[in-house]
Structure 1
Amino acid sequence: MKAAVLREVGKPLQIETVSISKPGPREVLIRTKAAGVCHSDLHFVEGSYPHAMPAVLGHESAGIVEAVGSEVRTVKVGDHVITCLNPYCGHCEVCLTGHLNLCISSETRRSKTDEPRLFREDLSGAGDTRMAQFLNLSSFAEMMLVHEHACVAIRKDMPFDRAALIGCSVLTGVGAVTHTSNVRPGETVAVIGCGGVGLAAVNGAAIAGAGRIIAIDRVPAKLELAKQFGATDLINADDGDPVKQVQELTGGGVHHSFEAIGLKATAEQAFRMLRRGGTANVIGMIPVGVKIELNGSDFLGEKRIQGSFMGSNRFPVDMPRLVDFYMSGKLNLDALISRRIKLEEVNSAFDELKRGELARSVIVFD
């Protein structure tokens, strides 16, 4: 099968022929139909986060079940599915207390002594042919082999390109609002960064009934796009201190802020723009080794800052609900897709991410 492979940090992905294993116990073979190009992938391409190489990238995807291994109970051949990068075992402490997104059990992956899920044929008989699976998925490929708890079946009238977005950006943004920070009707919200995740957070805040939703970015086109997702106020960060602007708009600060970029400065701004008792949520991937600085006295006002990983999701329940939200017109996925591309165009999609011009490019497989 064709796949986009990262072989060296900072270098373009290479389109290669990669082999995929047959499904073992609890595993599902999926024919990839669509895969979003996410900024998280770019973090690994640029080396902000380490990963074993060579690796087939991609982690935001939807497809059709081609085959299942023994003991698989959750999906069947022919099911349309959305994948999720955080598979869960179902019986560790975090799973049993309802935090499926935090499960790191090794039993959802193959061991180092097992045949790898992805590999390259080595006709010479020399060298290691293993390919690293990226975030338990590797969806920049025509097929995926995953644990059954890394996907969920959805209704078949859901378009694959929109469904793929639910696999990461939408689940992350909406979930941060509804699960991590528990936004209540009438509360005020600020979202820093109007890329795919930030726009999903804006949409999630609108669905949750937030009274005021302030979108913050430096790109006017993205701010205008945020209106379509439910933003009530727009702030261009180039027009002055966004913290001061938020405080003036809200009379002291917001109840909830969401940082969707992954920078030290914006994480600190998210905390500073809170009112007393407010909660700042860092969704963006701050590079390894970077520290943020906060004023200790602000904690006397019961202000909180916390991380949000994949929207604190329970994806087997959340993803089908998000599909229903889209099909009923409550969730705006159409405007998230800037363009649809072929696998061979993946590097151009990364170039656009670096420029910060578009919301989302989606790879569509025939």
Structure 2
Amino acid sequence: MRAAVFHEAGQPLHIETVDDPRPGAGQVVIAVSGSGICGSDLHMTQFPGHTPAGLILGHEYAGTVAAIGSDVSGDWKIGDRVTALPLFPCRDCEACEAHLPQLCLNGRFAGTTLETPGAYAQYVAARADMLQKVPAGVSDVEAAMVEPLAVGHHVVERANIRKGETVLVIGGGPIGAAVVLFARAAGAGHVVVSEPAPERRARCLDLGATAAIDPQRENLGKRLDELTGTRPAVVFECVGIPGMVQQAADLAGVRGRVVVAGVLFEEDRLSHITGLGKEVSIIYSQAYTEPDFAAVIDALATNAIDATPMHTATVSLDQLPDMFESLRNNPAQCKVLIDPSL
């Protein structure tokens, strides 16, 4: 099969011919109809020594079942339209017993190890117990976006939004955009986005945000009060740079909830007196569960949400290396998909 292969930080991905994956016990092979480029993929390829040479990236995908391994339970057939949680959990740890495979202590994500290659390719292997069927009412483009949408759904679920509450979303990238979509669906009243890039602000408004603020040109707290008349009950931190959790705690209302979805690999500082004075709760959100995937698929199938504004481009494998590098600094793009058939 053809695949995009990572070799070295600072070098573009290489399009190569590699062996087709074969399904192991409990696995299926999926013919990829669409695979998304994630910001975490960009980060993985940025730092020398972080990512193994020879890795095939890609953990956002959908397609059709092409091969079925042994010991696969369920009514799966060749040709079934599917997506999958890109997880390989051990099923024998505290997290797995709590039905939280994304928190498995021994688990792996597709596209992060040489043993679990990802979907920047014509085919990808997945755990059969992680499969989800894609109904006819969900397009291939929508199916390929289920994974990042499920991240946003899980973030919003962690907040337990009450109808009419005011919400602030810090960061209007793909995850912030998905959070906007599901915060509105959950019944939030005001959903205000803080985002310096005008393209992202406009996209979040298209997805249902009630207002969008440029924090580099306006005082965020003052503008929030002008727009909503109240401090936010929920603040979603979807950036992942130092100082953002502190800003979220500063802006949250009394007994507000701060949900941290931004990934930050370095240490940060936090003044506890701010949160203590308002009894702010800080909640972390990691990936998704199987019910999150099912809820997203149902929302797409029933037109309860419209994720169309998030899809900004589709490229072929041959176009992927240049597009991949361009996304390191391109707020005009949101969710770029790879179609290996092009």
In the superposition, the TM-score normalised over structure 2's length comes to 0.91
Matches of 2:227 and 2:276, distance apart in 1: 22
- Matching of residue 141 in structure 1 with residue 121 in structure 2: yes
- Matching of residue 161 in structure 1 with residue 128 in structure 2: no
Q: 1:137 to 1:55 in 2, by over 3 A?
A: closer
Q: Percent identity?
A: 27
Matches of 1:9 and 1:268, distance apart in 2: 32
What is the CA distance between 1:2 and its match in structure 2? 0.9
Q: 1:14 to 1:243 in 2, by over 3 A?
A: farther
Matches of 1:66 and 1:30, distance apart in 2: 5
Of residues 296, 305, 326, the one that matches 2:282 is 305
1:114-125 alignment to 2 at 5 Å?
none
The range that moved more, 268-277 or 345-354, is 345-354
Which amino acid is the alignment partner of residue 172 of structure 1? Answer: V
Q: 1:6 to 1:304 in 2, by over 3 A?
A: same
Which position in structure 1 is the counterpart of 2:101? 100
Matches of 1:138 and 1:272, distance apart in 2: 39
CA RMSD in angstroms comes to 2.4
Is the CA contact 1:186–1:212 (under 8 Å) kept in the aligned structure 2?
Answer: yes
What is the CA distance between 1:89 and its match in structure 2? 4.2
Which amino acid is the alignment partner of residue 219 of structure 2? Answer: D
Q: What is the SS of the residue equivalent to 2:282?
A: strand
Which position in structure 1 is the counterpart of 2:336? 361
Of residues 186, 195, 204, the one that matches 2:164 is 186
Matches of 1:48 and 1:176, distance apart in 2: 31
Which amino acid is the alignment partner of residue 161 of structure 1? Answer: V
Of residues 225, 229, 236, the one that matches 1:258 is 236
Of residues 206, 217, 223, the one that matches 1:228 is 206
Matches of 1:212 and 1:170, distance apart in 2: 21
Matches of 1:37 and 1:338, distance apart in 2: 11
Which position in structure 2 is the counterpart of 1:114? none
- Matching of residue 329 in structure 1 with residue 303 in structure 2: yes
Which amino acid is the alignment partner of residue 77 of structure 1? Answer: I
Which amino acid is the alignment partner of residue 359 of structure 1? Answer: C
In the superposition, the TM-score normalised over structure 1's length comes to 0.85
Which position in structure 1 is the counterpart of 2:321? 347
1:118-148 CA distances to partner (integer Å, 9 max, x unpaired)? 9xxxxxxxxxxxx9448x4511011101222
What is the CA distance between 1:208 and its match in structure 2? 0.2
What is the CA distance between 1:293 and its match in structure 2? 2.6
1:270-309 alignment to 2 at 5 Å?
270-286=248-264, 288-309=265-286
Is the CA contact 1:247–1:254 (under 8 Å) kept in the aligned structure 2?
Answer: no
Stretches of structure 1 lacking an aligned partner (at least 5 in a row): 110-116, 119-130
Matches of 1:89 and 1:182, distance apart in 2: 29
The range that moved more, 190-199 or 97-106, is 97-106
1:260-302 CA distances to partner (integer Å, 9 max, x unpaired)? 222113333222211111111121221x233243343422321
Is the CA contact 1:212–1:231 (under 8 Å) kept in the aligned structure 2?
Answer: yes
Matches of 1:7 and 1:170, distance apart in 2: 29
Matches of 2:10 and 2:250, distance apart in 1: 34
Runs of 4+ in 1 over 6 A off after TM superposition: none
Q: What is the SS of the residue equivalent to 1:238?
A: coil
Is the CA contact 2:153–2:292 (under 8 Å) kept in the aligned structure 1?
Answer: no
Q: What is the SS of the residue equivalent to 2:216?
A: helix
Is the CA contact 1:258–1:282 (under 8 Å) kept in the aligned structure 2?
Answer: yes
Is the CA contact 1:89–1:103 (under 8 Å) kept in the aligned structure 2?
Answer: yes
Q: 1:15 to 1:27 in 2, by over 3 A?
A: same
Stretches of structure 2 lacking an aligned partner (at least 5 in a row): none
Which amino acid is the alignment partner of residue 93 of structure 2? Answer: C
Q: 1:256 to 1:14 in 2, by over 3 A?
A: same
